């Protein structure tokens, strides 16, 4: 059995080197694609998170705008009366 070890290594080693080379090539091709897809996913998730936080605040922002407009109208009319 020990005498067959060099022959086994001669037959086994090229296939292991080929396997390693193929894994490296596939890794170099697939890893950038996975990284780009991951970044796009994170960007979409971030946009969804911001939208989920800001969309419920829209009615409050509209109410604040109406209050601001009413405040500007009422204070503007009193200014016009005081400057006459």
Q: How confident is the model at residue 1 (pLDDT cuts 50, 70, 90)?
A: low
pTM of the model as a whole:
0.57
The CA-atom distances, in angstroms, between 36 and each of 20, 25, 29, 48 are 24, 18, 12, 18
pLDDT in the model for residue 81:
55
Q: How confident is the model at residue 70 (pLDDT cuts 50, 70, 90)?
A: very high
pLDDT in tens, 24-64: 999 999 999 999 999 999 999 999 999 999 999 999 999 99
CA-based max dimension of the chain? 115
Phi-psi region of 73 (alpha: psi -120 to 50; beta: other; left: phi over 0): alpha
């Amino acid at each position: 059995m020990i005498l067959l070890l060099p022959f086994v290594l001669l037959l086994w080693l090229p296939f292991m080197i080929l396997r390693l080379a193929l894994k490296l090539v596939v890794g170099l091709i697939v890893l950038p694609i996975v990284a780009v897809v991951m970044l796009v996913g994170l960007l979409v998730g971030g946009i969804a998170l911001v939208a989920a936080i800001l969309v419920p605040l829209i009615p409050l922002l509209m109410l604040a705008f109406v209050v601001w407009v009413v405040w500007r109208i009422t204070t503007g009319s009193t200014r016009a009366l005081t400057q006459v």
